[in-house]
Amino acid sequence: MPGTDLRSGVNPIPPSLPATAVGLGLRRGLLDDLEQALPGDVDFLECAPENWIGLGGALGERLRGLSARYPLTCHGLSLSLGGSAPLDLAFVDQVRRFLDTHHVALYSEHLSYCSDDGHLYDLLPLPFTDEAVRHASSRIRQVQDRLGRRIAVENVSTYLTPHAAMSELAFTRAVLDEADCDLLLDVNNVYVNAGNHGYDPVAFIDGLPAARIVCLHVAGHHDEADGLRIDTHGSAVIDPVWALLAHARNRFGPRPALLERDFNLPPFAELRGELQQMRRILAGQPLLPGAAA
């Protein structure tokens, strides 16, 4: 897709998502809470299309009800944008139909790979090389052409780097430019990788192009050992990650932001408190101290 820009205008914020919108990952364990949530608790929901495509019956009906009530974004798990196996174009076509059916505002995927003659059920790191930039970017452009829309790629948490001829920041920027795509900035992944690989998370965020950033993610993680942080999505967001989110907001202006929680689901009141903290940050208000306690 060289020479083709699918961006409409210069505003990177997806349509139907206000810049200060706060969202929550759609998990089946949260369906009851989300259906009973009060206006203002949540502004949008995000789901993995792989978990919902073709799903009928009661769960399909509940998804249709929620997507009629809330704007829906999608965060994919299995495109394997950096993989060596051919792209599954039949699946991309399924995704397109799902996005159209539910009027999805934003579709994102991970800047990683997860297949090698079959799915590997993990998001594996790419080498930071010029060849990997060209390979991943070509596949991203192919997906964008097939979908007829821009997509965003997410910076992923990593625990090793296969080969680093450049920094993660330089690699990320190169893919965004070469693919002409957007960025879903996962702030927690920046914090995790900064601890695992010994770089400054603030400098990483400062080096990103504001015009590419369409959404922000935050989540909890686990400190496995000194110098080893594991991205789990299974605990509350900690104060240093809230502070990094606030820095990103001040650096780029407000962007729609989403809370990811995959397991160890707490009472919805606790998630509501984290969403309120996000709302304060996006509005430029001071952080609530001890929110992660």
Residue-wise pLDDT tens digits, 38-83: 999 999 999 999 999 999 999 999 999 999 999 999 999 989 998 8
Q: What is the pLDDT of residue 11?
A: 62
Q: What is the pLDDT of residue 290?
A: 57
Instruction: Give the rounded percent of residues in the chain with a pLDDT score beyond 90.
Output: 76
In 3-state terms, what secondary structure has residue 7?
coil
Q: Give tens-digit pLDDT for 108-137.
A: 999 997 745 544 445 788 899 999 999 999
Higher-pLDDT residue of 159, 63: 63
pLDDT-based confidence at residue 138 (cuts at 50, 70, 90): very high
Query: Taking 80 as the threshold, does the pLDDT of residue 292 lie above it?
Result: no
| pTM (predicted TM-score) | 0.91
Instruction: Write the DSSP string, 226-255.
Output: TTEEEE-S-SPPPHHHHHHHHHHHHHH---
Q: What is the pLDDT of residue 266?
A: 96
Q: What is the pLDDT of residue 42?
A: 98
Q: What is the pLDDT of residue 81?
A: 93
Query: Taking 70 as the threshold, does the pLDDT of residue 5 lie above it?
Result: no
Q: What domains lie within the chain, and their CATH numbers?
A: 22-282 (3.20.20.150)
Q: What is the pLDDT of residue 118?
A: 47
Buried b vs exposed e over 261-293: b needs ≥16 C-beta within 10 Å?
beeeeeebeebbbbbebbbbbbeeeeeeeebbe
Of 245, 135, 141, the closest CA to residue 189 belongs to 245
Instruction: Using alpha carbons only, give the angle 244, 189, 217 rounded to the nearest 5 degrees.
Output: 70
Q: How far apart are CA 161 and CA 19, in angstroms?
A: 34
Average pLDDT over residues 91-103: 96
DSSP-assigned letter for residue 258: E
Average pLDDT over residues 24-44: 96
Q: Give tens-digit pLDDT for 193-247.
A: 999 999 999 999 999 999 999 999 999 988 777 877 888 888 999 999 999 999 9
Q: Give tens-digit pLDDT for 264-286.
A: 999 999 999 999 999 999 999 98
Q: What is the pLDDT of residue 196?
A: 92
Residues 274 and 259: beta-carbon distance below 8 Å = yes
Q: What is the pLDDT of residue 12?
A: 73
Q: What is the pLDDT of residue 1?
A: 36
Query: Taking 60 as the threshold, does the pLDDT of residue 253 lie above it?
Result: yes
Q: How far apart are CA 182 and CA 36, in angstroms?
A: 33
Query: Taking 70 as the threshold, does the pLDDT of residue 291 lie above it?
Result: no
